[in-house]
Amino acid sequence: MKSAQGDRLISLAGGLPCPSTFPVEELRAAADRVLRKDGSLALQYTNTEGYAPLRAYVAEYFLKPRGIPADPDCVLLTSGSQQALDLLGKTLIDTYARVLLEAPSYLSAIQAFGLYEPTFLSVPATPGGVTPDALEKAFRQRPRMFYTVPTFQNPTGWTWSQENRTAAARLAQKHDVFLIEDDPYSELSYDEAPPPPLASFSDPAGTVITGTFSKILSPGIRMGWIAAPRHLMDPLVRAKQASDLCSNILTQRILFELLAEFDLLKHIERLRKHYRRKRDRMLEWLDKLMPTDCTWTRPRGGMFVWLTLPPGLSGTRLLRATQAYGVVFAPGRSFYAHGERDDTIRLNFTHSSDSDMADGLRVLAREIQRMPVDI
Amino acid sequence: MKSAQGDRLISLAGGLPCPSTFPVEELRAAADRVLRKDGSLALQYTNTEGYAPLRAYVAEYFLKPRGIPADPDCVLLTSGSQQALDLLGKTLIDTYARVLLEAPSYLSAIQAFGLYEPTFLSVPATPGGVTPDALEKAFRQRPRMFYTVPTFQNPTGWTWSQENRTAAARLAQKHDVFLIEDDPYSELSYDEAPPPPLASFSDPAGTVITGTFSKILSPGIRMGWIAAPRHLMDPLVRAKQASDLCSNILTQRILFELLAEFDLLKHIERLRKHYRRKRDRMLEWLDKLMPTDCTWTRPRGGMFVWLTLPPGLSGTRLLRATQAYGVVFAPGRSFYAHGERDDTIRLNFTHSSDSDMADGLRVLAREIQRMPVDI
């Protein structure tokens, strides 16, 4: 995150949305209305679960249309979906519990869960998701839970096929493994729509799905959510109470005030168009600039391209080289729980301007070609 | 908290500020300015440590004037001071670490630390704080840290004497115990000023102080802070990153924009006057209404009166009785890590109207007199 904030830096590192897409004026007007009509309540302590109308909105617009059992009482609003991961770690991970991750998996999930000291197991991610064979083998090691980003995954951009989703749901129930489906990107789909979420057909008592307003509206307001089975709500709410008592009610109310008058679907259409063009731009530049022994993913949504370096090159060392020219990205190593591979890097295409993106990729391509191979 | 939000309830339970004191209009204007001039940055991800000008403000106005080493780089902004407690737990408590608390101590600190599974030790609170003899005896059991609210304590309202503070600072250094000074109330002083904070003369490498804007401006915006020794900043920032990536930057900026034009000292003076009157009102009513075998504290600041019931009465049972008449308070039992005493209750005097307070105390006095003694 720090790299992505510096002054004279070209950053392909973070997962930052493009600030030109934020509905600034609409949020300003919403803030104005909330503080004029309901200021005292919007500035007081509130309940831990979150603002009831906003929980109902999440159920109505994010769960129901996608076939997920939609009870507002089972929605917990969180400080971004990062807090959702932390609360799940707090609630589900005892010391030495086994947590199964895709390899690679989302860096900040590894960090969030890691603080509760589980034993991490991993199962290889593939372009179509985790295969049933690999998953069953991994489930036989008796993980307590399986964390996955099945749609436009961070970091790879890959999306699980319908077949792999169906198999995973069946296997999780068979082996009694808790499914955690992290779903921040499914609205950001640039070609055909992704398959339905795992949570729409897996065992409801053994599945959690998390989402966020960060990627479609604004990350600065820190508003994410968990939809959990009823039996998990009490422990999650207790964990949140111990973590921060309650979420920021001022921004909960501003967000709800915005949503009441805002055409979110139309906004998401605009985002798709904007990011589709950026994704295409990045893929064009990569085709043009990268040496032939590099390979990379061609994501149908989300925010990232995952690039595999020529044999023998290290993403960590490459970062040191490009950093000297003010260009940063996320080395792939940190997306593995045990840092087991260092030959990949993650590139973000949503945040930088076209010219920064091109300049950054030029430096990257040059440094890849310059770098001595590690034998 | 839930009890304090109900519709037809008289709540003396929570630690809610009086909403009439919130600077609603000033915050509305500040939000308007921030979103007009800097909307995109105020809605984007931000750094984990917090908005730099606000960290500098905390150092300049909350630390420096009170003799605490004031380096803005050692200030971490948190989602209310509850998150500060959670991050300290995450950072300092390994399973089975010993954590020393005053008995009674702040309920939500017990909950925050409790999730990291320490062994709780306790040392008796007294009207002048913890005595050196009791503290040394407790320190000999080798706690990793000592958590204290030395000024206008929650729940008792008690304030440590200068002598006990000096002794505690010396003993903590001698026994190598980490001091956590939780200081949400020291601005809310209604008689003479409290003694200087422990953090102004204890070993800086072994002391943390936490504070909050919740009690003096608005709890809804969730803005607290930790001032920590340099060697703790990295682990705390990593813990915060894993917990929620960063705090809400929109409200960080609104708050800073407000503070730039707002006379905070004058506002605090108004709060003191407002709450002093409410404290006096509660003490008058208690004198008038309570049976002679009840005793209670006469706090010189903060938000709470701590009442000891007549011998043989249970605070938990009393709550069930008054609840039937729509009156709630916080039973004292939950303020003990091991629930070891049930003959006390905590009463808040900052939130309810004068007439609600009087009606609530009337019900309370009546039910105390009615209740059968537990032999």
The per-residue pLDDT for range B11-25, each reduced to its tens digit, is 999 999 999 999 999
Interface test mutation site (partner B, options A7, A33, A35, A81, max chain B beta carbons within 10 A): A35
pLDDT digits (tens, 9 = 90+) for B225-280: 999 999 999 999 999 999 999 999 999 999 999 999 999 999 999 999 999 999 99
User: Would strands B207-212 and B224-227 be described as parallel, antiparallel, or unpaired?
Assistant: antiparallel
pLDDT attached to residue A328: 97
pLDDT digits (tens, 9 = 90+) for A210-250: 999 999 999 999 999 999 999 999 999 999 999 999 999 99
pLDDT attached to residue B375: 59
| pLDDT of B3 over the 50 cut | no
pLDDT attached to residue B373: 75
A242 contact B CB<8A: yes
State pTM to two decimals.
0.95
Phi first, then psi: give them for residue A146, nearest 5 degrees: -120, 120
Are B44 and A1 inside 8 Å of each other by CB? Answer: no
pLDDT attached to residue B374: 65
Q: How far is A289 from chain B (nearest CA, A)?
A: 30
Q: How far is A47 from chain B (nearest CA, A)?
A: 7
CA distance B264 to B25: 15
Interface of A with B in 15-54 (CB under 8 A): 16-17, 19-20, 22, 24-25, 27-28, 31-32, 35-36, 39-48
pLDDT attached to residue A307: 98
Q: How far is B106 from chain A (nearest CA, A)?
A: 12
pLDDT attached to residue A5: 42
pLDDT attached to residue B371: 87
Residues of B with Cβ-Cβ distance to A5 under 8 angstroms: 46-47
What is the separation, in whole angstroms, between the first and last Cα of chain B?
A: 31
Are A39 and B48 inside 8 Å of each other by CB? Answer: no
Average pLDDT over residues A172-195: 97
Using CA atoms, how far residue B92 sits from B5, B81, B147, B240, in Å, is 34, 16, 12, 13
Are B27 and A19 inside 8 Å of each other by CB? Answer: no
pLDDT attached to residue B17: 96
| pLDDT of B7 over the 60 cut | no
CA distance B209 to A78: 26
| pLDDT of A6 over the 50 cut | no
Are A40 and B24 inside 8 Å of each other by CB? Answer: yes
Least trusted range by pLDDT, from A69-73, B52-56, B354-358: A69-73
Are B45 and A1 inside 8 Å of each other by CB? Answer: yes
Are B79 and A17 inside 8 Å of each other by CB? Answer: no
Average pLDDT over residues A293-307: 97
Nearest-CB residue to B251 (from A36, A86, A250):
A250
**Dihedral over Cα of A307, A312, A317, A318: its sign:** negative
B233 contact A CB<8A: no
Average pLDDT over residues A283-296: 96
pLDDT attached to residue B95: 76
| pLDDT of A2 over the 70 cut | no
Phi first, then psi: give them for residue A278, nearest 5 degrees: -70, -40
pLDDT digits (tens, 9 = 90+) for A34-61: 999 999 999 999 999 999 999 999 999 9
Are A245 and B82 inside 8 Å of each other by CB? Answer: yes
| Per-residue exposure over B103-118, b if at least 16 CB sit within 10 Å of its own CB, e if not | bbbbbbbbbbbbbbeb
Are A111 and B241 inside 8 Å of each other by CB? Answer: yes
Using CA atoms, how far residue A271 sits from A187, A216, B197, in Å, is 9, 7, 51
Q: How far is A78 from chain B (nearest CA, A)?
A: 9
| pLDDT of B209 over the 80 cut | yes
CB atoms within 10 A of CB B23: 18
Residues whose CB is less than 8 angstroms from the CB of residue B33 and which lie 6 or more positions away in sequence, other chains included: B257
Average pLDDT over residues B152-168: 98
CA distance B305 to B155: 7
Helix (H) or strand (E) holding A281: helix A264-289
Selection from A6, A26, A25, A27 nearest residue A16 by Cα:
A6
pLDDT attached to residue A373: 75
Q: How far is A302 from chain B (nearest CA, A)?
A: 17
A352 contact B CB<8A: no
Are A222 and B244 inside 8 Å of each other by CB? Answer: yes
B235 contact A CB<8A: no
- Residue B335 banded pLDDT, cuts 50, 70, 90: very high
Residues of A with Cβ-Cβ distance to B41 under 8 angstroms: 19
pLDDT attached to residue B96: 80
Cα angle A363, A369, A373; round to 5: 130
How many residues comprise chain A? 375
Nearest-CB residue to A28 (from B16, B32, B243):
B32
Tokens in use for B236? 């705390």
B331 contact A CB<8A: no
How are strands ordered across the β-sheet holding B145-148?
A: B75-78, B224-227, B207-212, B178-182, B145-148, B98-103, B119-124
Interface of A with B in 175-214 (CB under 8 A): 214
Side chain identity at residue B16, one-letter code: L
Q: What percent of chain A has pLDDT over 90?
A: 94
pLDDT attached to residue A3: 46
pLDDT attached to residue A227: 98
Residues of B with Cβ-Cβ distance to A19 under 8 angstroms: 40-41, 43-44
A73 contact B CB<8A: no
Residues of B with Cβ-Cβ distance to A222 under 8 angstroms: 244, 246-248
Interface of B with A in 113-152 (CB under 8 A): 114-115
CA distance A196 to A202: 11
| pLDDT of A1 over the 70 cut | no
Are B44 and A16 inside 8 Å of each other by CB? Answer: yes
Nearest-CB residue to A251 (from B39, B115, B251):
B251
pLDDT digits (tens, 9 = 90+) for A85-112: 999 999 999 878 999 999 999 999 999 9
Phi first, then psi: give them for residue B231, nearest 5 degrees: -65, -15
pLDDT attached to residue A7: 57
Nearest-CB residue to B86 (from A1, A16, A242):
A242
Residues of B with Cβ-Cβ distance to A247 under 8 angstroms: 222
Residues of A with Cβ-Cβ distance to B236 under 8 angstroms: none
| pLDDT of B2 over the 50 cut | no
| pLDDT of B126 over the 50 cut | yes
For the residues of B196-262, what is the DSSP string, one character each?
Answer: PPGGGTS-GGGEEEEEESTTTT-STT--EEEE--HHHHHHHHHHHHHHHSS--HHHHHHHHHHHHHS
pLDDT digits (tens, 9 = 90+) for B89-113: 999 998 789 999 999 999 999 999 9
Cα angle A275, A280, A285; round to 5: 125
If you search the block for the tokens 């900040």, which residue do you land on?
A108
Instruction: Output the average pLDDT for chain B.
Output: 95
pLDDT attached to residue B217: 97
CA distance B244 to B322: 39
- C-alpha radius of gyration, chain B, whole number: 21
